[in-house]
Amino acid sequence: MNKRAHNFSAGPCTLPLECLEEAQQEFVNYRNSGMSLIEMSHRGKHFMEVAEQAESLCKEVFEVPDDFSVLFLQGGAILQFSMVPMNLLTPETRAAYVNSGSWARGAIADARQYGDIYVAWDGESCNFTRMPNTKEISLQDNTRYLHITTNETIGGIRFPSWPDVDVPLIGDMSSEYMSRPVDWNKFDLIYGGAQKNLGPAGLCVVFVRKSILENTNKNLGRYLRYDIHESKSSMFNTPPVFAIYMFGKVLKWMRKEGGLSAMQKNAAEKSALLYGTIDQSGGYYRCPVDVACRSHMNVVFRLPNDDLEQQFLKEAAELDLMNLKGHRSVGGCRASIYNAMPFSSVEALSTFMHDFSTRNG
């Protein structure tokens, strides 16, 4: 039995133990081939099977309609910040962005290198404590897409429902990937890094509406073209073999656990336990986020003062409640409770929070 910490890291982060143990067991001599999977040609039968399974499983688990393709890319969500406008914008069109915080700001900054970009709603005035509702989003003529960051990892906010606008949505779902159903009709493209809900770092999973690929920009280096990756089933160049393999294992685990609806339900219950602990602490813990927009993945909270926060983090770590420090840009505490985080770990955190506030109230 492997010792396990309660790992509240914002990513890379907790993965299902059974996936790790299976991978360990298979690591050196994959299916008695005399090779590790990471030593095998990506065009050989073993890895082709792994990649095909990951592709079909992620469409099944994420309930992806047939008019979308999935691409396994590299460079993280951040390379998508460039690839989206590079591929989708033309000199005649512009793109709208919701500025919902740290990650949205990055997407906007990169997109500005590749086209006419404007901010359709700016969360700065409310200090990024909520998402906009549809009627607050101001769209201009010739807008090719509205880009949203569906969950902000640092601010701990999410869209409670998808904006209902007349242009296609593009979603960066990195920090809540495959934890809730998507209204696919509204989206042209969804992307995200795998290193939170889906697997290890080094894999970016992109879902793209097939019909838009005909009109994407072809005057790009080939790695930067969605149509090239799609036409080669993500085998245009050597893909990140090990990350795809682990992603496949996580998908199998997700399916076994009950799929997307189970992930959604678990996330709601885990986050409700922590938000309840915060809200029922008589103001000892405070969550700055608008109640309707509270993330089900990243629960941010403050204690009465910095000294108590330091003490809290120190005592938590002594109980193996790890990586609860908030992002350095905002301070405070943050519990990231991604799909693979067991309910029991969230309970352990809640119990500790009760105990700590009682002792230090």
| Per-residue contact string for residues 288-327; x = within reach of its own copies by CB under 8 A | --------------------------------x-xx----
> How far is Cα 140 from Cα 137, in angstroms, rounded to an integer?
10
User: What is the number of residues in the chain?
Assistant: 361
Based on its alpha-carbon atoms, the radius of gyration of the chain, rounded to whole angstroms, reads 21
Provide the minimum distance between the beta carbon of 2 and its own copies in the complex, in angstroms, as a whole number. Answer: 5
From residue 166, give the alpha-carbon distance in Å to each of 144, 190, 243, 342: 10, 17, 36, 39
Pairing relationship of beta strands 116-122 and 94-99 according to DSSP bridges: parallel
**Cβ contact 143:95 at 8 Å:** yes
- State which amino acid sits at residue 243: A
Catalytic: 110? no
By CB under 8 A, residue 118 contacts its own copies:
no
Catalytic: 103? yes
By CB under 8 A, residue 12 contacts its own copies:
yes
Q: Spell 44-81 as b/e; 16+ CB within 10 A means b.
A: eebbeebbebbbebbbebbebeeebbbbbbebbbbbbb
Catalytic: 196? yes
Ramachandran region of residue 157, left (φ > 0), alpha (ψ -120 to 50) or beta?
beta
By CB under 8 A, residue 337 contacts its own copies:
no
Residue number, 73 or 120, with CB nearest to its own copies: 73
Give the residue, chosen from 239, 248, 288, 332, that forms a contact with its own copies under the rule CB under 8 A: 239
Per the residue annotation, which of 110, 121, 196, 325 is the catalytic one?
Answer: 196
Per the residue annotation, which of 172, 227, 253, 325 is the catalytic one?
Answer: 172
Residue number, 97 or 275, with CB nearest to its own copies: 97
By CB under 8 A, residue 197 contacts its own copies:
no
List the structure tokens of 275: 């938000």
| Per-residue contact string for residues 252-291; x = within reach of its own copies by CB under 8 A | ----------------------------------------
Residue number, 29 or 161, with CB nearest to its own copies: 29
CB atoms within 10 A of CB 302: 19
- Residues 35-94 touching its own copies, rule: CB under 8 A, are 35-36, 38-42, 44, 73-79, 81-82, 86
Provide the minimum distance between the beta carbon of 130 and its own copies in the complex, in angstroms, as a whole number. Answer: 26
List the structure tokens of 203: 């894999």
Q: Which stretch binds its own copies (CB under 8 A): 13-21, 60-68, 247-255, 346-354?
A: 13-21
Per the residue annotation, which of 103, 116, 249, 325 is the catalytic one?
Answer: 103
Would you please indicate which residues are annotated as catalytic (active-site) residues? 103, 172, 196
